[in-house]
Structure 1
Amino acid sequence: MALTGRDKTWPRKRWALGLAAAGTAAVLGLATGGTVTQAATAKPKPTHTQIQLLAINDFHGNLEPATGSSGNINGTPAGGAAYLATHLKQLRAAAEAKGQDSVTVAAGDLIGASPLLSAAFHDEPTIEALNGMGLEAASVGNHEFDEGWHELLRMQTGGCLPDGDGQNNQNSCPDAKHPFTGAKFKYLSANVFFENTQKTLFAPYTIKSFKDGRKVGFIGMTLENTPNIVTKSGIEGLTFKDEVETANALVPVLKKKGVESIVVLLHEGGFPADPRAYNSCPGISGPIVDINAGLDPEIDAIISGHTHQAYNCTLMDSAKQPRLVTSASSFGRLVTDVRLSIDNKTGDVDRLNTMANNQIVTQDVPQDRKTSELIAKYKTLVDPIANKVIGHLTTPSVVRTPDDSLESPLGNLIADAQLADPTVVTDGKTPVVAFMNPGGIRADLASTGGQVTFGQAFTVQPFNNFLVSMDMTGTQIKALLEQQFSGVNGPEPAKFKVLQVAGITYTWNPAAAAGSKVVAGSIMIAGQPLVDATTYRIVTNNFLSDGGDGFPAFTTATSKFFGGLDIDAFANYLTAHDPYTPVATDRISIGS
């Protein structure tokens, strides 16, 4: 039987390939017990030609440097589009000085879940900034589908939306003199097909031809699990296929076109045991390990993403040869600088002489002028929306950090806001329970001198999801709660996805078996015990309503009614409860 990328019996020897501390030479070593033993330094051969490959991933529209822990790498302030543009120029200049060609690529989630500065304009500013940085090819990520695949096509081809000049706090093409012309780089979507066809949403691959006839093929893919983590309406009419099978089928296609050097741009990743070791992969785990094991040995490198982790090493392919696997963290804080060493005779990559380095996008370099001007223009345009004060906090912030039960103060606030939203009341039916997915809470709610602006609220909830009220029986609610600890959300505690709630309390037992972790008789709604046969009106967002994040119980609900935007409910609640004081995390408890 052919080995697949999901075969858990595949032996997982792990190798590490990265630059030495001085950042000038690659090292190859066997990773055992979470450590890396360095071997001989690789040296470029005179019979080879080096090509520079610069890579980023998970930029998420962070035109300005992110704040807090998301704005640094191991304590070093990092990120910001104007700094990123400068670093890319400097890295290309260094390669050019050595006579090396260069290509810049990305591994998905360049847009979506973006700060207001980009999201207020449907991420058009981010596409414009990436155009200016010289990006040439990018795989689609799950967040590229946040506003639907039709909108993603517009990101590629350009054009303006008739969105009512600011409807839903968004404004396409705010500068009438400069319409949005789309991405100059190529989006790739090898495993995203129109239903019942062999046609992909975007081209499955692109071939970069260099001087002397050398070629590098790039296959671009998102994770197969994308339908479970995006809004259903955004991908209606599309199917997402296995990453390994998709890439392997394209290898002979590329080879027939004379391509011997093949790189996969994959929006899926892994988790190193030490997340600070950004230039190695100690004890790496996660989907990337199995995907790498199943990929055709003819594929020479994997540029990955999705997990927002930083790593740079090699994993053994199925031919027991080391293959480069990298990820550049998120938000433009790192750039992966790869030097592919290509044999001049065969046109193939010599992996033992290929070097890679994850370089921090430090803020000690000049900001790129054109990128800075672009950011300044959109900051002026967004200021009236972003700076509007919508409330105050009695504490410096409301945090999303959960307690032992995985309930958070900010989760409670958002769930309360959803439960209080009048737009989801229909036919006299008012929701009595609210559910919020923790992954949709993107940052702590910060304040400035106690004041909370719309921009700060939007940073917390940047998806512009609609709220949906619906009917669920007590039995369906029980099934929903168990899905927090089972299916794609289990069985390991690290995968548990505890929904933030309002109007309901319960106890769960971490030691109990999957499917029976919620303590019998502990579920209370409006202070009364849950009754299996009783129908309850609940509210959530449209992402969860479609069964997102591994909660199919929501799809069994009935009498669904769409209300307003989640960010509006959040902002209105803060205004109505001004000033706001965080409430106790006493809705979910641990017990036996």
Structure 2
Amino acid sequence: MVGKQSSETCVITILETSDLHGSMLPIHYANNKSNDVGLSKIATLIADERRKEQNVIYIDNGDLIQGTPLAYHHARLDNTPIDPMVLGLNYLQADAAVLGNHEFNYGLDVLGKAVKESHFPWLCATVVDAASGEPFLGKPYLIKELPNGVKIGILGLTTPYIPNWENPNHIQGLRFEDAVQTATKWVPIMKEQEHADVVIVSYHGGFERDPGTGAPTEPLTGENQGYRLCTEVEGIDVLLTGHQHRSIADIEINGVVIVQPGSLGATLGKVQVELVQSDGKWLLNAKKSELISVVGVDADPKLVELVSEYEAKTQKWLDQPIGKLTGDMLVKDPMQIRLKDSALIEFINKVQMELSGATISNTALFDNISPGFPADITMRDIVSNYIYPNTLKVIRITGQDIKDALEQSAEYFELAPDGAIQVSAKFRDPKPQHYNYDMWEGISYKINLSRPVGTRVIELDYAGKPLDLSASFEVVMNNYRAGGGGNYAMFQDKPVVKDIPTDVAELLASYIMERGTIEATINNNWEVIWD
């Protein structure tokens, strides 16, 4: 157990946020109802920890500047002021931040501006300049020395899988390197050259294996390498993780204490390490990790005031009328939306097809809180349903690729012992992946969940005939999926016929504004059955 501070001991408290995704205020932007999330609530917890503890380090672990209408409005429509999330971390006197994969979503200019505005260093050893091989943001680690002489080394790492998701224009001139190999290079430098007594690795990535058993939990693509970092890299004392949006604490892997604080600022990650003096050296004696919930915690009023002007502009923009709808596009039951063709999904797919010229399209219902469109549509409705800054790509793929992708999507479902339909463990653990279940337009298909995985597509037609598996087709989808994101490897490295770099949310809004009124239609081109 970590004890109290004394002249012979040193207790260090490390606080972590990760995957805040632009979450500043404790609200749902779809309806402005209260929500137990946000950096403004986290700020109250951090202040409380600083009152209680002597040596406190606060690190944000990435995916900071993207994800809410507040973040979107700043990045796309009013990027002149300081980034509101950076403003929050400056206010909290963050010691460091790490690049997340979503930091690149708005391009290098927006990211570079946010970095310059920060009163703290951004750390990342895995993203390097493609020409020189030097870390993209300069020195990838920080050495923090306490008054008693204890040195703490903090190394930043980011998942190298970013090129599989990101718009190539947003990462031009950069190379993404393996996290384990990179840590193997930099951890000894902190230990041997900088004489760090404690080594913290803040890694925007998660675990490819079960932290307790070591059993593989996902394809070993290199997207998540947390388990390997703990077992293959000597000298790491604390591993701060993220990316997977999991809640993990009170676990050690190979002697490395780990933590992952979920997402959106629902919890604050906390690690404490105790060092003792022995023969003039500080030696690690004990460590522990935990998660602190923001439930019941008041938002920091000063931070709320600091971002009030940003919020007022965002709310005005969200209430901007876009157009009208005849018919029903509301989401009453997310599972039902994913079991049979619906007006909302059909509309998004048809817009993608019309704007791209492709005859086949796919999209997803990204989460279970998407409300759908009401009769009077505002920008709030657009961004509440299309929550990611995706763009569109048309890629050329085969009929077999389409069938393989449908089979993968069909794995989203499983039958419970009582015969009810539920989300499968593959798409539920370690985090919900509703965004990786696609629904298609331009083809007709039927999925039977009573059949074994891999053989569930029982009908697949195009233009009234069975789909030719050897033929080529031009299909429009978001850039994340077109790059193979979500383990859709059948889409990787396929010819790009057309790239539409405008955010899909903007495309949808413009489409509705140009027409004034849209109509809900359903052609029932697909369904999921079980018997």
TM-score w.r.t. length of structure 1: 0.72
Contact 1:511–1:517 under 8 Å retained in 2: no
The residue aligned with 1:462 is 387
The one-letter code matched in structure 2 to 1:78 is D
1:559 maps to 2:518: no
1:341 maps to 2:274: yes
> Deviation digits for residues 266-298 of structure 1, max 9, x if unmatched?
11224999xxxxxx9899975566224424342
The residue aligned with 2:284 is 350
Aligned with residue 381 of structure 1, among 309, 313, 325: 313
Q: CA deviation at 1:52?
A: 2.0
In structure 2, relative to structure 1, the CA distance for the partners of 1:451 and 1:63 (3 Å cut) is farther
The one-letter code matched in structure 1 to 2:92 is M
The one-letter code matched in structure 2 to 1:502 is E
In structure 2, relative to structure 1, the CA distance for the partners of 1:197 and 1:478 (3 Å cut) is farther
Aligned with residue 64 of structure 1, among 2, 17, 25: 25
Q: Secondary structure at the match of 2:153?
A: strand
1:305 maps to 2:236: no
The residue aligned with 1:435 is 362
> Deviation digits for residues 356-378 of structure 1, max 9, x if unmatched?
33111244436332x11222111
The residue aligned with 2:446 is 507
The CA distance in 1 between the partners of 2:169 and 2:455, in whole Å, is 32
Q: Secondary structure at the match of 1:308?
A: coil
The one-letter code matched in structure 1 to 2:440 is V
The one-letter code matched in structure 2 to 1:200 is P
Q: Secondary structure at the match of 2:480?
A: helix
The one-letter code matched in structure 1 to 2:265 is G
Contact 1:272–1:311 under 8 Å retained in 2: no
- RMSD over aligned CA atoms reads 4.0
The CA distance in 2 between the partners of 1:134 and 1:246, in whole Å, is 28
The CA distance in 2 between the partners of 1:402 and 1:577, in whole Å, is 30
Q: Secondary structure at the match of 1:350?
A: strand
The CA distance in 1 between the partners of 2:446 and 2:281, in whole Å, is 61
Contact 2:12–2:272 under 8 Å retained in 1: yes
1:111 maps to 2:42: no
Q: Secondary structure at the match of 1:67?
A: coil
- Greater shift after overlay, 464-473 or 303-312? 464-473
- Greater shift after overlay, 219-228 or 387-396? 387-396
The residue aligned with 1:209 is 145
The residue aligned with 1:161 is none
The residue aligned with 2:418 is none
The CA distance in 2 between the partners of 1:53 and 1:563, in whole Å, is 40
The one-letter code matched in structure 1 to 2:43 is A
The residue aligned with 1:6 is none
The one-letter code matched in structure 2 to 1:529 is P
Fraction of identical pairs, as percent: 21
Q: Secondary structure at the match of 1:549?
A: coil
The CA distance in 1 between the partners of 2:317 and 2:119, in whole Å, is 29
* 1:40-189 to 2 correspondences below 5 Å: 42-44=2-4, 46=6, 47-67=8-28, 78-95=36-53, 100-112=54-66, 114-122=67-75, 124-157=83-116, 182-189=117-124
- Greater shift after overlay, 556-565 or 57-66? 556-565
- Greater shift after overlay, 120-129 or 492-501? 492-501
In structure 2, relative to structure 1, the CA distance for the partners of 1:121 and 1:398 (3 Å cut) is same
Contact 1:145–1:230 under 8 Å retained in 2: yes
The residue aligned with 1:5 is none
The residue aligned with 2:421 is none
The one-letter code matched in structure 1 to 2:70 is L
**Structure 1: gaps (5+ residues):** 1-40, 158-181, 274-279
1:568 maps to 2:506: yes
The one-letter code matched in structure 1 to 2:438 is L
**Structure 2: gaps (5+ residues):** 218-223, 412-423
The residue aligned with 2:182 is 246
Contact 1:228–1:550 under 8 Å retained in 2: no
The residue aligned with 1:542 is 479
In structure 2, relative to structure 1, the CA distance for the partners of 1:494 and 1:117 (3 Å cut) is closer
The CA distance in 1 between the partners of 2:90 and 2:340, in whole Å, is 39
The CA distance in 1 between the partners of 2:17 and 2:310, in whole Å, is 23
Q: Secondary structure at the match of 1:212?
A: coil
Aligned with residue 194 of structure 1, among 113, 129, 153: 129
> Deviation digits for residues 173-197 of structure 1, max 9, x if unmatched?
xxxxxxxxx1112111111122254
Contact 1:393–1:579 under 8 Å retained in 2: yes
Q: CA deviation at 1:415?
A: 5.1
The residue aligned with 1:398 is 331
> Deviation digits for residues 85-129 of structure 1, max 9, x if unmatched?
22211211111xxxx1221102111122x2111211118111112
The CA distance in 2 between the partners of 1:585 and 1:264, in whole Å, is 50
Q: Secondary structure at the match of 2:437?
A: coil
The CA distance in 2 between the partners of 1:539 and 1:142, in whole Å, is 23
Contact 1:419–1:431 under 8 Å retained in 2: no
In structure 2, relative to structure 1, the CA distance for the partners of 1:216 and 1:130 (3 Å cut) is same
TM-score w.r.t. length of structure 2: 0.80
Aligned with residue 420 of structure 1, among 342, 347, 351: 351
The CA distance in 2 between the partners of 1:367 and 1:284, in whole Å, is 41
- Greater shift after overlay, 230-239 or 203-212? 230-239
